[in-house]
Structure 1
Amino acid sequence: MYSQEQREGFIRVYETLKLYKRITPKKLNGEESIDKQNIIKDLYVDLLPNKGIIRKLLSDETFILLGRRGTGKSTLFARAQYDIITQRKNLSAYVNAKSVVDDMKFQNNSLNIPDLEGVLESEQLGRLLLIKKFLNDLFESIVVELKREEQNLFEKITSRFRDNRIDSLIKRIEDKIENPDILNINSIVSKQTRETETTNKTKSAEAGATGSTSANGVKDALVKIYAKAGYKKEIASGLENESLNIFAKLFNVGDIISDIKQLLDITSRDKLYIFIDDFSELTEGDMELFYQTLLNPIYNSARDEIVLKIAAYPGRITYGELEAGKYDSIQIDAFELYGQNIVEIERKSSDFIRRLIKNRISFYCKTTPDTFFDTSEHSMEEYYLLLFEASMNIPRTLGHILSQCYDNVVSYDKKITKSDILNAVEMVYRKITKTYFDKEHKSQGVYKEKLDVYTQHNLIEALCEMALELKVELPKTNNQHFSKLEYAHSSHFQIRAELVSFLESLEFNGLVHKVSTIAPKSTKNKKANIDVFIYAFDYGLCQFNKILYGRPERTSRYSKYYQQRRFDLSETLINTLSSNKKIVCKNADCGAQYDINELPMIEQFDMMCRKCYQKTCEVDYDESITELVKENLKKAQFTKEELDILQVLEMYVVTSTNFKAYPLEIGQELDISYQLVSRIARGLIDSELVIRKEDKTNNNRPYYEITEKGKKTLSTILEI
């Protein structure tokens, strides 16, 4: 039924939608050379009409791009860089913050500053090495683009004098990055000393300012930054004045910025656009260090020449000295992007899914979507809406759904039906979304983080249990929306605005999704017209738990279906959290306790107790949870990253394609570097859970396969 081109093309459709990390022409089945960059342009589909997102990314303003994993932030950056490269007016550079962090875990790096290595602890040295690695990656990206320009579409630099100036400048910048200058910070350390010591001591300090003094200044400044970011174990001592530019001086950032401006002038470019991806993968303390060392100096002294574009997760980013009103931002999750109204979200999102699928199938399969979808009972518009609800406009999730459809339907020369999509959605939930809890519960990790994961698990189970109860009970009521139903659709629920922060983790991990806001009806003794949020359970979760998704019909009769008061699960949320954890003042003379729903307010005042006014409040968890976490941590044999790799390898086994699990492809699937994959895999190989092979048909390229022992180990951990 399908031609070879159509089968292979469909594989490319879902594989490119699933792509994690950096999108390149090579990953999209092209080549890396500049003349093959058009594939990025050809496959790009903007979330807004008239290239609305790309226009914002190409503006001259600092820009923050917010979105959950898989929403396409890296693709947007790649598309913006394509325009910069082809228009020949500016330069661009790309740095992935997560890759920088991953690479730091196994590379042997050095600051080349012996004075610091004798003063700083290994953890503090690691943080400064993080900055050095970031600078290296940033400048390497600039050099790669310059070389690509010379060799391909851009004007060739014919003047030998100009060539020499560029080469000299590049070497100068590289030397400054490779050899930080601790003597640069003497003046800052001396100034701080003057502000904290007596006049006599000041004179002595100024007379004896040495590399050792500067090293101690670096250490104290690091302590201050991380204490500010909430790292209470590193208590600030000795410095009353924060040294906001001590690290910029250490790494010669001011000089490097001046050199970059000179480079722009020599190459006749107006601006340098710096794209920083996965910024939220940094810790809060590392974000603060990045701002003080790099981003603030760029923003404050070079914003006319250097434009920052940062991609991060909603709610997981700090903003340094970026001033409100002087930077732009946009959140690309459907709820935030399309107006917070469920009707508009469904209309605009299904249109995006339509454009996205038509584009990919046309490009790779040279046909139209109805070639693969059975339209005898459902139109393509109905399929697009269903695929939106199933993926929530997240291209990566859509790719996984279409992958299941290929394995179970297309590979057998059949057309995809609604039933096939629903089966695929449930399979994706069982194999990917649901296993989040299994892997967290049974892997090694940080005790307090594990406690919160158990609380989140209990919460989603309580909400599902209530949804199943409503499914049966609502048809027994006299409410006209339910009375004629055999079972009620109960996939959507309401949560009061002040409680939404407690669902952020579940939403981030794809278990629930915001889909609308409403002003609830006035109730006795309650204030009316306070917005509440409507959430939807993940479609796959609903399929797995037999919860009916959506509303009975898309007609005016059920237009206010989700606004019915019985769908308000705010009390369920409060009761579940209250039974799992509470806030306790640890002041021995106080001991006050507060309900967990007061946490957002108490956090605003740095965990201050309202009774004793000491900042000694902490979250205490139910004893049953703490004991369970302790027991599981004792039994845990693997890290979460090891379980992630085993899970990906198992997925390669069950797929109907013959793809091999190369380290690069595994890294793309897990959003980590291929070097980190290789390092983790060594331990799995030693445990006989994985074997390493070489692909004789591909220059002996190494790849991995899961062993039978690995499969059994994984099956005992994950309930799939």
Structure 2
Amino acid sequence: MNISQKNKDNFFNLVDSLKKCRRADLSDVSKSKDVIEKLYVDPLDNDLILKSISKLNTTILTGRRGTGKSTIIARLQHDIRKSKDRLSLYIDVKSIFEQSKAFSYSAENYADHFSAQDLNKYLIYKSFLKEIISEIKLELKTNTLKFYLAKITDYFGPDKTAFEEELNRIFDDIEKFEYMDVEVLKQKKVLSNEENKNSVNQKVTANVSVDASGPKGGFNAEYGTSNSDASSLNEEFSEVLLKCFNPILIMRNIRELLKKIGINHVFICLDDFSEIDYDAMKIFVDVIIGPLNNLSDEFFKFKIAAYPDRIYLGDIDPQKIEQIRLDFYELYQAKTITDVHAQAQGSIKKLIEKRTQFFCKQTPDEFFDTTKTTLDDYYKALFDITSCVPRNVGWILWYANQQSIAKDKKITLNDLSIAAEKHFIDTVRPYFSQNQFMREPFDMKLEKYHLHQLLERFVNTAKINKRDILVSDSKVFAKDKTKPPTSHFYINKKLEDVLKPLEMQFFITKYNEQKDQDSSELMSFFSFNYGLCVSEDIHYGRGSDRKYVIQRRFNNTKSLQGYLADAKHIACNNHQCKATHDYEMLPMIEMFDMLCPKCKTGTCSVEHANVDVELADEKILLSEFDMQFINSLKVDSPQYPSGLAQELDCTYQKVGKRAARLKDMGFLQAQEMTINKALGKRNYYSLTDEAVTTYFEQ
């Protein structure tokens, strides 16, 4: 068959729009200001997610990468801009945190107050908060002048300068106290010196009180220091920075100014909140988010995009916020797993239909081969492959497009299967396969190593189950004996936290909770990544019999417990105690703030068993971002900086900086060319042969 070039180009634009990370708008898709409204597909019927996040409360959107958090925030902002008394501010938290690492503060003013390492952290956090406040100022000025200019001129007169000057004055007052922290630290040092005089007696007491079980009291007998030093240091950072930036002053003055022009509520949208380090997150919440949220009389409300289980609330009352979970199992909770899957497949159907109509002015059957397969079969396959993650839908269709539409053929189920394997190999598997090339702390490498071993245990079990079912006489397996699916498994729910890193990286996905075959324990059910199954020759599915997946052979709890016994333990940091505890005691120890159950004074932490982890030469180690950079070019090359930035979820300026470093290392080449006439002549990046040989030919 022949597919017109226009349809080929339009379909490519469709899948390209889905697979890229688009942050605050979709301006590169269309110049229409209503494009987000035309393309938005709410995960729930009747736009329930949009309606929920539009309420006057602080809301947290949680989900893995690509689940649509940024798109929902963009849609919310679009609606707020049409309101008469609300204002939205967009803060790209990750980008601001990255910029803050190149701080301009002089270390001389603080040298007597912190160690060199702690001082570097403190100044990064201070710079981060300063940049956040600067961004709030910029967003306030831009959005008020753009959407409330008429009201500004009504109140301040035809010259908007008076309004700008008052806004500038608020933030100028903050800058006057920028070095207030130096004075606060000097005072705190005097206080701490007084405390240190008394601490000598406490240290002696601690040393005298040692018995067979270890030292008594809250001090380490050997060093005379509190076991909660790290936590106390972060609390001190927050206390000092609160006085430095005075968020209460910011809040009162901004609220007073904005109410003059009719603004009664400000929604501050925080994107990529979980991408910053946890200590920075805590300080950000304690110094800025908490005070503005709790003390503003409902004036400031936050809309936060975060990863599951990586959010800190501080003093914010969890009863007064709403958390919306976007991963399909938690989003579509229903009485039966069939209902959950049906709702998820319906969401994919709406997504593809709307995009096809917008970009191609066609229906999906123009691009999917429906001679032997229904469109619903394709939606089910896309659900199985992508776990209902919109960005992954885009990637799968992008790969499938190369095998089909681009070659004058409609997409088939086989094309989707091939695409799933390619996406897994190119995007998911590198988390483990490129571990040796990553410049990161050794304990992170060690954790990845052990997680990889655990995943391989589960994969090997699936292969054994496949062979055993082929010769089994059980009636449960009778209908599937020729091609037995073994892609699904379950574990005791109490241990599911161990698997969260694997789920976060899309190696597995949780899809259900129910009692096991013996109805004694609640179990968490997972499925392997579809592309992993294709790569490992594991048949994907839950079986024909509804009791298929609850058979004991799919219970991986003992395998997981064996992994924990080999790979992880809990160790006490008290040098007099040095006790180790089984990992399964973690929930109990966490209840007592990680206090050692043996010595009652030491603080416990989870440690990984040491093994020999393969490491590449220091000269070719790359940061996580640089590794993602070259992986993106390996998949799709050449690319221009702003397009690559959308793939990598960052600014084009960061792409330019990292490209310069990779060029210096001999791994990147740039060339001016015209690939798309609409884009004109641009600078395009591609990998050198040396990069391909070094990182991909193993």
- Normalising by structure 1, we get a TM-score of 0.85
Sort the Cα spacing of 1:700 and 1:160 in 2 relative to 1 into closer, same or farther, 3 A: farther
Out of 663-672 and 358-367, give the one that drifted further: 663-672
Q: Is the 8 A contact 2:100 2:125 kept in 1?
A: no
Q: Is the 8 A contact 1:71 1:332 kept in 2?
A: yes
1:711 aligns with 2:698: no
Sort the Cα spacing of 1:243 and 1:642 in 2 relative to 1 into closer, same or farther, 3 A: closer
Sort the Cα spacing of 1:359 and 1:117 in 2 relative to 1 into closer, same or farther, 3 A: farther
1:671 aligns with 2:649: yes
- CA shift, 1:633, in A, is 7.1
Sort the Cα spacing of 1:269 and 1:188 in 2 relative to 1 into closer, same or farther, 3 A: farther
Unaligned runs of 5+ in 2: 199-225
- CA shift, 1:591, in A, is 4.5
Q: Is the partner of 1:75 in helix, strand or coil?
A: helix
Q: Is the partner of 2:410 in helix, strand or coil?
A: coil
- CA shift, 1:186, in A, is 6.1
CA distance in 2, matches of 1:157, 1:702: 44
Q: Is the partner of 2:685 in helix, strand or coil?
A: strand
Code of the aligned partner of 2:140: I
CA distance in 2, matches of 1:476, 1:711: 44
- CA shift, 1:115, in A, is 4.2
1:124 aligns with 2:115: no
Out of 568-577 and 115-124, give the one that drifted further: 115-124
Q: Superposition pairs for residues 482-561 of structure 1, below 5 Å?
A: 482-484=477-479, 485-522=481-518, 528-553=519-544, 558-561=545-548
- CA shift, 1:607, in A, is 3.6
Unaligned runs of 5+ in 1: 202-229, 523-527, 654-659
Sort the Cα spacing of 1:180 and 1:19 in 2 relative to 1 into closer, same or farther, 3 A: farther
Code of the aligned partner of 1:30: S
- Which residue matches 2:67? 71
CA distance in 2, matches of 1:123, 1:491: 44
- CA shift, 1:477, in A, is 3.1
1:694 aligns with 2:672: yes
- Which residue matches 2:262? 268
- CA shift, 1:367, in A, is 0.3
- CA shift, 1:243, in A, is 8.4
Code of the aligned partner of 2:18: L
CA distance in 2, matches of 1:533, 1:448: 28
Deviations 1:139-165 (A, max 9, x none): 2122221232267xx767356537344
Q: Is the 8 A contact 1:93 1:142 kept in 2?
A: yes
Code of the aligned partner of 1:4: Q
CA distance in 1, matches of 2:600, 2:191: 34
CA distance in 1, matches of 2:489, 2:21: 31
1:564 aligns with 2:551: yes
- Which residue matches 2:429? 434
Sort the Cα spacing of 1:288 and 1:638 in 2 relative to 1 into closer, same or farther, 3 A: closer
CA distance in 1, matches of 2:346, 2:649: 28
Code of the aligned partner of 2:170: I
Q: Is the partner of 2:264 in helix, strand or coil?
A: coil
CA distance in 2, matches of 1:642, 1:74: 23
- CA shift, 1:188, in A, is 10
- Which residue matches 1:170? 167
CA distance in 1, matches of 2:263, 2:603: 54
- CA shift, 1:390, in A, is 0.7
Q: Is the 8 A contact 1:111 1:178 kept in 2?
A: no
1:95 aligns with 2:79: no
CA distance in 2, matches of 1:128, 1:684: 30
Code of the aligned partner of 1:421: L
Q: Is the partner of 1:702 in helix, strand or coil?
A: strand
Q: Superposition pairs for residues 382-397 of structure 1, below 5 Å?
A: 382-397=377-392
CA distance in 2, matches of 1:699, 1:175: 43
From 40, 46, 52, the equivalent of 1:44 is 40
Q: Is the 8 A contact 1:149 1:155 kept in 2?
A: no
Sort the Cα spacing of 1:192 and 1:306 in 2 relative to 1 into closer, same or farther, 3 A: farther
Code of the aligned partner of 1:398: V
Sort the Cα spacing of 1:535 and 1:364 in 2 relative to 1 into closer, same or farther, 3 A: same
CA distance in 2, matches of 1:674, 1:103: 13
- Which residue matches 2:343? 348
Q: Is the partner of 1:30 in helix, strand or coil?
A: coil
1:608 aligns with 2:595: yes
- Which residue matches 1:22? 23
Q: Is the 8 A contact 1:372 1:416 kept in 2?
A: yes
Deviations 1:453-479 (A, max 9, x none): 001100111000001100111243332
- CA shift, 1:93, in A, is 0.1
- CA shift, 1:58, in A, is 0.7
The number of aligned residues is 659
Q: Is the 8 A contact 2:672 2:684 kept in 1?
A: yes
1:304 aligns with 2:298: yes
- Which residue matches 1:290? 284
Q: Is the 8 A contact 1:519 1:530 kept in 2?
A: yes
Q: Is the partner of 2:129 in helix, strand or coil?
A: helix
Q: Is the partner of 1:274 in helix, strand or coil?
A: strand
Sort the Cα spacing of 1:605 and 1:367 in 2 relative to 1 into closer, same or farther, 3 A: same
Sort the Cα spacing of 1:705 and 1:518 in 2 relative to 1 into closer, same or farther, 3 A: same
Q: Is the 8 A contact 2:449 2:613 kept in 1?
A: no
CA distance in 2, matches of 1:110, 1:595: 46
Q: Is the partner of 2:671 in helix, strand or coil?
A: strand
Sort the Cα spacing of 1:323 and 1:7 in 2 relative to 1 into closer, same or farther, 3 A: same
Code of the aligned partner of 1:333: D
CA distance in 2, matches of 1:320, 1:167: 33
Q: Is the partner of 1:378 in helix, strand or coil?
A: coil
What do you get for the CA RMSD once the two structures are aligned?
Answer: 3.0
CA distance in 2, matches of 1:11, 1:585: 56
1:456 aligns with 2:451: yes
- Which residue matches 1:362? 357
Sort the Cα spacing of 1:538 and 1:710 in 2 relative to 1 into closer, same or farther, 3 A: same
Q: Is the partner of 1:87 in helix, strand or coil?
A: coil
- Which residue matches 1:662? 640
1:144 aligns with 2:142: yes
Code of the aligned partner of 1:705: S
CA distance in 1, matches of 2:227, 2:379: 46
- CA shift, 1:402, in A, is 0.4
CA distance in 2, matches of 1:596, 1:184: 42
Q: Is the partner of 1:86 in helix, strand or coil?
A: coil
From 609, 613, 638, the equivalent of 1:628 is 613
1:644 aligns with 2:628: yes
- Which residue matches 2:561? 574
- CA shift, 1:8, in A, is 1.7
Sort the Cα spacing of 1:492 and 1:186 in 2 relative to 1 into closer, same or farther, 3 A: same
Q: Is the 8 A contact 2:434 2:695 kept in 1?
A: no
Deviations 1:570-616 (A, max 9, x none): 11111123222333445555444333333343344344332222425
Code of the aligned partner of 1:692: A
Q: Matched residues, percent identical?
A: 29
CA distance in 1, matches of 2:394, 2:163: 43
Q: Is the partner of 1:91 in helix, strand or coil?
A: strand
- Which residue matches 2:658? 680
Q: Is the 8 A contact 1:271 1:307 kept in 2?
A: yes
CA distance in 1, matches of 2:317, 2:152: 39
Q: Is the partner of 1:94 in helix, strand or coil?
A: strand
CA distance in 2, matches of 1:231, 1:105: 28
Out of 661-670 and 322-331, give the one that drifted further: 661-670
Out of 68-77 and 118-127, give the one that drifted further: 118-127
Q: Superposition pairs for residues 401-480 of structure 1, below 5 Å?
A: 401-480=396-475
